[in-house]
């Protein structure tokens, strides 16, 4: 069973790398703005679905950017299938990862309360 989870972890990392490249270099949707980074990818064990956690910084409209990513998921999936040769290419589900913003907020609060 351990080898299967290792395989899933390798697939997650590979997808993360390729998705970052595809979103950064290949997407031309004007609704997708800001700096988008893929923070985490979770592929189901049957490789049918992949949850892609993205953090969006400096975007004009975060909801619009996320909607644009969801709308482009078919194209992104096709590009992913060209790069990574697996029997199935999972359906992509984009989720907003707010941990970076949360971390920045905590950081600023700590800076405020810490004595100098």
Question: pLDDT of 4-41, one tens digit each?
Answer: 789 899 999 999 999 999 999 988 888 888 888 899 99
Reply yes or no on whether the pLDDT at 62 is more than 90. Answer: no
Please tell me the number of Cα atoms within 13 Å of 103 on its side-chain side.
5
Does the pLDDT value for residue 116 go beyond 70?
no
**Non-local CB neighbours of 38 within 8 Å, separated by 6+ positions:** 16, 19, 20, 23, 52, 53, 54
If residue 8 lies in a helix (H) or strand (E), which one and from where to where? helix 2-21
pLDDT at 107: 86
Q: Output the average pLDDT for the chain.
A: 88
Percent pLDDT > 70 in the chain is 97
Report how far Cα 34 is from the mean position of its chain's Cα atoms. Answer: 14
Note the pLDDT of residue 5.
84
pTM of the model: 0.81
pLDDT at 74: 92
């Amino acid at each position: 069973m351990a080898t299967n989870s290792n395989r899933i972890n390798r697939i997650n990392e590979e997808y993360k790398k390729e998705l970052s490249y595809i979103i950064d270099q290949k997407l031309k949707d004007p609704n997708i703005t800001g700096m988008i980074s893929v923070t985490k990818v979770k592929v189901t064990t049957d490789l049918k679905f992949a949850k892609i956690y993205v953090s969006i910084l400096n975007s004009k409209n975060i909801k619009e950017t996320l909607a644009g990513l969801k709308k482009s998921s078919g194209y992104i999936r096709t590009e992913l299938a060209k790069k990574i040769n697996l029997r199935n290419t999972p359906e992509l589900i984009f989720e907003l990862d707010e941990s970076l913003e949360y971390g920045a907020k905590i950081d600023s609060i700590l800076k405020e309360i810490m004595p100098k």
